[in-house]
Amino acid sequence: MSSAVTLPPVSNREDWDETFQLFDPDTGDVQDLSTVTALELIVWDPDTRESKITLALDSGLTIPSAANGIITLHVGESTMTALTAKNYAFRLGMTIAGAIKDIILPGILPIEDGGP
C-alpha cells in the first residue's frame, strides 16, 4: 500500500536534497528497511509521461538508517535545470523479499522557476 505525498517546492536552479522517514501505511509503524534490496525514484512530466529523473539505491538514493525507515535523495543542479516550472509526478518504490512495492504514489514535486 502506498501513500500520496506532495513535497515542498524546489527551485530548478539548485540541488534537490530530501530526507524521508517512511511509515507502514497500514500500521503507522516505522518501515524497517533492513531487508530492502532496491529503491527507485522516478520523476516524470504528467503531460507527456516522459521520465525526467530516475534514481536508484546508491545512485542518488541512500538508506542512512534502515531501522528508522530513513532514506535520502540527491539530485544535482545540472539535472534540475532541465525541469521547467510546473508540478511533476513521482513514485518511490522498493524491492523487499523479492516483491516490488510502491512506497509513495502518487507523489507531486512542485518545481519553481529559479530565474536566469
pLDDT in tens, 87-108: 999 999 999 889 999 999 999 9
**Burial call 71-96: b when 16+ CB within 10 Å, e when fewer:** bebebeeebbeebeeeebbbbbbbeb
pLDDT average, residue stretch 64-70: 97
Q: What is the CATH number of the domain that holds 107?
A: 2.60.40.10
What pLDDT is attached to residue 41?
A: 97
**pLDDT attached to residue 1:** 60
- Which residue range(s) make up the domain with 17? 3-112
| Number of domains the chain contains | 1
Query: Between 116 and 6, whose confidence is greater?
Result: 6
Alpha helices in 4-103 (DSSP H): 77-80
Q: Mind listing the pLDDT tens digit for each residue in 26-62?
A: 888 999 999 999 999 999 999 999 999 999 999 999 9
